[in-house]
Chains A and B, each alone.
Chain A
Amino acid sequence: MQFISRRKFVVLATTGVAAAPLTSMARTISGGITAQEIIDRIRKNIGVEWKPDTVDTFKAGYPTTVVTGIATTALASLNVLGAAVKAGANMIVTCEPIFYAKTDSPTPPVRRIPGASPSNEPPTAPPPPDPVFMAKAEFLKKHNLVVVRLSDHWRLRKPDPFAQGLAGALEWSTFTSPGDPAHLTIPETSLDALASHVKKLLKPRGGMRIVGDPNLRIRKVGFLPGSTPIQSALQTLPDVDTIIAGEVREWESVEYVRDTVALGGKKSLVLIGRIVSEDPGMQVCAQWLKTIVPEVTSTWVSAGDPYWRPML
């Protein structure tokens, strides 16, 4: 229950009153826990030094909002927000941006010139109002939602929660290396059978793309969740039979694995998509939040695979 209106909070927050007394006031008034207090606990318990320059900040709502429940997700789409509201959550912890770009601005970035390389062209005029941005901002406001991003720091946590989540989702937790869930030794199988297993358990609708011989025997598996550069593939591939990755640049890791296979290397690459690869890691996040924020429920809302493929 809130005794101070949102409007009043905004006024207080923008008149130069220090944030700390406000935070404690919110707690005193409602007897609940505020979004800022939850962030403070995350920072204290995550086991990673907080970066001064980070995307892990408030993206919508107010730090002083009293939290009724937390929803974690890889991608806070409108569908995910709807499910979070239904579950009684008003604080969303998302791995990826909510407003479609790293800047996470509630208005669209300056539009790219069609067909032009963005780096070569000067910015055009300010963009017109965008119905998707507007509807999302409206939804957040209507439901008084607080959105924070947790990406930079969650990725640095040890052991890697994204790898931990993937191992769990693939029912391979017992096959992970001690202290390193990104490296696994699984019962021997073929690449083809492994792909079917991954498809059955992670349900990527369209995003699953594979490089390598379907009959290749697989025992050593390396995970590269999220988006990774060529250096990660170069470092991981020599010690494994296959890499299961979220997203890589096609001119980097895909071509590297393709060349390695063509040159006789018994290697392979399974791309499951960035969001699909991060989803289980955010389930781990919900479980962790339960332990550090016992006052409210923490629920994982799966973002699912954005992609599909036409059936011919």
Chain B
Amino acid sequence: MSVLTAGEVVARIKSNLGFPWRTTTYRDTFKFGDPDTVVKGIATTMFCSYDTIRRAAEQGCNMIIPHEDTYWNDPDKIDVVSGDPSYKLKTDFMREHDIVVFRMHDHMHAQRPDFIYVGCARALGLESRYETTPQSHHFVLPETTLEELAATFQKKLGDRALRVVGNPKTKVSRVQLGVGYATPSINNPDVDVVVSGEQQESDGFLDSPAYVLDAMTLGIPKGWIMLGHNISEEQGMLEMAQWIKSFTPEVPIQLVRSEEPFWVAQ
């Protein structure tokens, strides 16, 4: 009986991408476990949280393909976290459950289409007929208000901690979608609203919350909707699971949601 190893799954991912693997990536590498590990089931997820790994293991998945880091820092540097008890507990659990983790981030965003955008647009109800040109992530929607648009997104996603900047009554229709920390510029004249995952509030490249505050004061229609990093990228890992399934028929594959980490004070 032939067995499927984690290394073989990664080899198939590489050969099905449609472009050469970028060997310089520090993100898309094995984060835990041996490539020779026999795979019983695969779970894709957004954040490789302990709870996600635990639920994946319960469902018979021992190969985790997350979009984000495992050890709370983007390069997954062990020395940053190895002194913390949570690091030991998390890796102990993975060892006991024969878990192997391989991250898919850079290559996923380089794929066309980028499944992360596909998943996010699907979850938000941003249909392709509204997209200006394919994969522009720029949508012209029937005119609405910033408040209604934000509420619609919140309802669709079940997002608890969605945050908005701008005048709630501002009329908007042109939406630029971003995901994760890749947040498009709000000062683009073709854009009324930027929707994205996470962006630092200030002191960066273009501090959009501050820009939107001033635009609001000036009566210039601009809006800023932050969905949260997890919520904005999680759905695309469903598309990733379906894609891997297409060339990995031997084992079950599913999305295990890492879910929104926050609750909000009432």
Binding site for B on A (CB under 8 A): 55, 75, 77-79, 82, 96-97, 100-102, 108-109, 111-112, 114-118, 127-128, 130-133, 135-136, 151, 192, 195-196, 198-199, 206-211, 214, 227, 230-231, 234, 238, 246-247, 249-256, 258-260, 262-265, 271, 273-275, 306-312
Contact = CB atoms under 8 A, between A and B. Distances in A.
B262 A210 contact: yes
Contacts, number: 222
Interface in B69-126: 69, 72-74, 80-81, 83-86, 89-90, 109, 114, 117
Interface of B: 47, 49-51, 54, 68-69, 72-74, 80-81, 83-86, 89-90, 109, 114, 117, 135-138, 147, 150-151, 154-155, 161-165, 168, 176-178, 181-182, 184-185, 187-189, 197-198, 200-215, 217-218, 220, 226, 228-230, 261-266
A132 B80 contact: no
Given A115-B177, A210-B264, A75 B202 contact: yes
Given A75-B202, A230-B72, A115 B136 contact: yes
B215 A132 contact: yes
Given A77-B217, A78-B217, A111-B188, A306 B209 contact: yes
Nearest to A212: B263
B214 A136 contact: yes
A208 to B, nearest CB: 5
A306 B84 CA distance: 34
Contacts of B73: 230, 252
A227 B203 contact: yes
A249 B230 CA distance: 12
Nearest to B72: A256
Nearest to B211: A100
B214 A102 contact: no
Contacts of A252: 72-74
B154 A310 contact: yes
Contact of A306 (B90, B182, B201): B201
Contacts of B261: 211, 250, 254-255, 258
A263 B92 CA distance: 11
Nearest to B176: A114
20 contacts: A75-B202, A101-B204, A108-B206, A111-B188, A112-B205, A114-B188, A116-B182, A135-B218, A211-B262, A231-B80, A249-B198, A251-B47, A251-B72, A259-B49, A259-B51, A263-B85, A274-B200, A306-B210, A307-B165, A311-B151
A128 B189 contact: yes
A250 B214 contact: no
A152 to B, nearest CB: 11
Given A108-B187, A114-B188, A210-B263, 19 more contacts: A78-B213, A96-B207, A100-B206, A101-B205, A108-B206, A115-B137, A117-B109, A132-B220, A211-B261, A230-B72, A249-B198, A256-B72, A262-B51, A262-B54, A263-B50, A275-B209, A307-B164, A310-B150, A312-B155
A111 B130 CA distance: 23
Nearest to B89: A263
Nearest to B81: A234
B265 A195 contact: yes
Residue of B86, B147, B177 most packed against chain A (CB within 10 A): B86
Residue of B137, B162, B165, B262 most packed against chain A (CB within 10 A): B262
Nearest to B148: A310
Given A115-B177, A209-B264, A251-B47, A308 B163 contact: yes
A112 B90 contact: no
A137 to B, nearest CB: 11
A130 B200 contact: no
A259 B164 contact: no
Given A265-B86, A308-B163, A250 B229 contact: yes
Contacts of A115: 114, 117, 135-137, 176-178, 182, 184
B213 A274 contact: no
A12 B190 CA distance: 42
